[in-house]
A and B are shown apart, each in its own frame.
Chain A
Amino acid sequence: MRKQRKWQTILFAMIIIVLTYLSSDITDFNIVHGIATLPDAVIWMFSNLFVTQESLERLPKILGKLAETILMSIAATTTGTVVALFLGLMGSKTTGTSNALAMFARFIASVARNIPVVAWALILLLSFGQNSVTGYLALFVGSVGFLTRAFIESIDEASQSAVEALRATGATYFQIVYKAVIPQCLPQMISWILFMIETNIRSATLVGILTGTGIGYSFDLYYKTLNYNAVALVTLCIVLSVIVIELMSNHIRKVIL
């Protein structure tokens, strides 16, 4: 028995090694070469990516773009929340009114979620062009997908028993939703919304590169004009703002839960 398990482990390891070798061979990727160039890459980063006096002069402009990005992320999250709330109520087993609607909500959520935000941005780019609406819509769709899924889980988990009790008193559907489901799920929902804002700020940078808006555009612009000091400043700003937002939402979470 033990011997058999040992053989299984060896076989499994062999398969993984062979698969790794095959895939790197097919794609012409050399692991040894990759690791060997790592020190060079680090040296390059340290010699080029630092903030200089000259790049600091661009700070106000960068901060303006950063604010634009953050606000857009928040707007995409909050409007996405409203749609996701309705879809979540429709999709949940406790509050869903019909199977067809639940299927519909789950379908929308899964389509919106399983196509990456970047892909959404590229798809929407075709019809809306390079502007902030495209970026906003891409983030909005992603938020709706993720939040719907999260809300369905929260509602199912938190409020089943209270919903049953209120149904037994003869309460109407919306009374139950407003007075039992929402109060019970609110902390969890807010927690998910905060998480979504964090994620969206990160994705907004990437989406901005594609749609030519916000901080992502600044990054792209400086990068392509070989102004690496400015690139460093932009990156630093993004990292700092994400950390600040994360700390803030952690604090809010602690207070409400």
Chain B
Amino acid sequence: MSLVRVENLGKSYNAQTKVLKDVSFNVEAGEFVSIIGPSGAGKSTLLRCINRMVEIDEGNVVFDGQDVGSLNKKELRKMRTNIGMIFQHYNLVPRLSVIENVLHGRFGYKTTLQGILGKFTEDEKEQAFYLLKKLGIEDHAYKRCDQLSGGQQQRVGIARALIQDPKIVLCDEPIASLDPNASKVIMDYLKSITMELNITCIVNLHQVEIARDYSDRIIGLSKGGIVFDGPSYKLTTDSTDLIYGTTTPKVEKRQLVTV
């Protein structure tokens, strides 16, 4: 059974424009899927429908056998502990230390009071340091997040998602505000760690090349609908044109005009 099943998903923020139209796809456990498409294609909305950070208007999203749209508040919280999320702007609390931000990922497993008092078990703290070490930023554990570079902050974001012990990680443009070097580091970490821990990963990207290099499968989104879904190697120039609505210049035939 697929880990994520999206069936005829539709979403609109206002009456005029539909952000998503009749989107359907399945993601199997352990897959590394990239969703590519131009800005405004609905990538972020699609991702946020999976953990219901935005409400689902039409259709169904089934995660791990549960219908996401019909969960009540408590069940939704419980489901979200199984879904890690990584953001373009890292979405850390900049004034808190790295380790505090990482441990925020455990809140879903705690009661309100435990969370407020910051009661974390030794195992959780060890796990946090283990992840920071794995991501190469254990030296910065006690620094404030706003003193870190963008790439380092995104690694904190990854650690926060992984400490949830998630079945799936949703990444919303994780490298869109990073330089090429930092982008490569982040994508390498995402790929290797999700493979090692056997975590499913859905990444929103707008760089086609990176999507092709890292993912097993690519979903192309354009104007709220899926226009390409298949293994990365099958993505041709024609399909990128379809996704981005561009036309790759073809060699023009020149005519010799003689008078």
Binding site for B on A (CB under 8 A): 159, 161-162, 164-175, 178-180, 183-184, 186-187
Inter-chain contacts of A180 with B (CB < 8 A): 93, 104
Chain B 101-113 near chain A by CB (<8 Å), digits 1 or 0:
0001111111110
Given A165-B87, A168-B83, 10 further pairs, Cβ under 8 A: A161-B90, A165-B160, A167-B53, A169-B106, A169-B160, A172-B107, A173-B112, A178-B115, A179-B115, A186-B95
Contact present for B104 and A179 (CB under 8 Å): yes
- What is the CA–CA distance of A246 and B116 in the complex, to the nearest angstrom? 34
Inter-chain contacts of B118 with A (CB < 8 A): 179
Chain B 55-91 near chain A by CB (<8 Å), digits 1 or 0:
0000000000000000000001111110111010111
Main secondary structure of the interface of A (DSSP, over half): helix
| 5 intermolecular pairs with C-beta atoms under 8 Å apart | A164-B53, A166-B107, A170-B77, A170-B79, A183-B93
Pick the residue among B53, B90, B91, B104 that contacts A171 (CB under 8 A). B104
Q: Which residue of A lies closest to B93 (CB)?
A: A162
* Chain B stretch 119-163: residues in CB contact (< 8 A) with chain A: 157, 160-161
The 8 nearest A-B residue pairs measured at CB: A170-B108, A171-B107, A175-B115, A170-B80, A165-B91, A168-B85, A161-B91, A170-B81
Contact present for A169 and B107 (CB under 8 Å): yes
> A187: shortest Cβ distance to chain B, in Å?
8
Contact present for A170 and B107 (CB under 8 Å): yes
Inter-chain contacts of A170 with B (CB < 8 A): 76-81, 107-109, 164
- What is the CA–CA distance of A158 and B94 in the complex, to the nearest angstrom? 10
Q: B195: CB under 8 A from chain A? A: no
Could you say which of A168, A171, A172, A179 has the most chain B C-beta atoms within 10 Å of its C-beta? A168
Inter-chain contacts of B77 with A (CB < 8 A): 170-172
- What is the CA–CA distance of A252 and B233 in the complex, to the nearest angstrom? 60
Q: Which residue of A lies closest to B79 (CB)?
A: A170
> A231: shortest Cβ distance to chain B, in Å?
47
> B165: shortest Cβ distance to chain A, in Å?
11
Q: Which residue of A lies closest to B109 (CB)?
A: A170
Inter-chain contacts of A168 with B (CB < 8 A): 51, 53, 80, 83, 85
Contact present for A169 and B81 (CB under 8 Å): yes
Contact present for A175 and B112 (CB under 8 Å): yes
Answer whether A179 and B93 are a contact pair too, CB < 8 Å, given A169-B80, A169-B85, A170-B80. yes
Answer whether A169 and B108 are a contact pair too, CB < 8 Å, given A174-B116, A178-B116. yes
> B194: shortest Cβ distance to chain A, in Å?
17
Contact present for B112 and A172 (CB under 8 Å): yes
- What is the CA–CA distance of A159 and B107 in the complex, to the nearest angstrom? 17
Inter-chain contacts of B87 with A (CB < 8 A): 161, 164-165
Pick the residue among A159, A169, A173, A174 that contacts B104 (CB under 8 A). A169
> B144: shortest Cβ distance to chain A, in Å?
11
- What is the CA–CA distance of A183 and B92 in the complex, to the nearest angstrom? 12
Q: B210: CB under 8 A from chain A? A: no
- What is the CA–CA distance of A166 and B104 in the complex, to the nearest angstrom? 7
- What is the CA–CA distance of A233 and B218 in the complex, to the nearest angstrom? 79
> A189: shortest Cβ distance to chain B, in Å?
12
Inter-chain contacts of A187 with B (CB < 8 A): 95
Q: B96: CB under 8 A from chain A? A: yes
- What is the CA–CA distance of A91 and B106 in the complex, to the nearest angstrom? 28
Inter-chain contacts of B161 with A (CB < 8 A): 169
Q: Which residue of B lies closest to A180 (CB)?
A: B93
Contact present for B96 and A161 (CB under 8 Å): no
Contact present for A165 and B107 (CB under 8 Å): no
Inter-chain contacts of B92 with A (CB < 8 A): 162, 165
> A221: shortest Cβ distance to chain B, in Å?
48
Inter-chain contacts of B94 with A (CB < 8 A): 184
> A216: shortest Cβ distance to chain B, in Å?
40
Answer whether A171 and B115 are a contact pair too, CB < 8 Å, given A164-B53, A165-B160. yes
Answer whether A175 and B116 are a contact pair too, CB < 8 Å, given A161-B87, A165-B87, A169-B105. yes
> A76: shortest Cβ distance to chain B, in Å?
28
Q: Which residue of B lies closest to A167 (CB)?
A: B53
Contact present for B104 and A164 (CB under 8 Å): no
> A240: shortest Cβ distance to chain B, in Å?
35
> A34: shortest Cβ distance to chain B, in Å?
52
Contact present for A179 and B53 (CB under 8 Å): no
- What is the CA–CA distance of A178 and B110 in the complex, to the nearest angstrom? 14
- What is the CA–CA distance of A167 and B94 in the complex, to the nearest angstrom? 17
- What is the CA–CA distance of A107 and B14 in the complex, to the nearest angstrom? 27
> A93: shortest Cβ distance to chain B, in Å?
15
> A199: shortest Cβ distance to chain B, in Å?
26
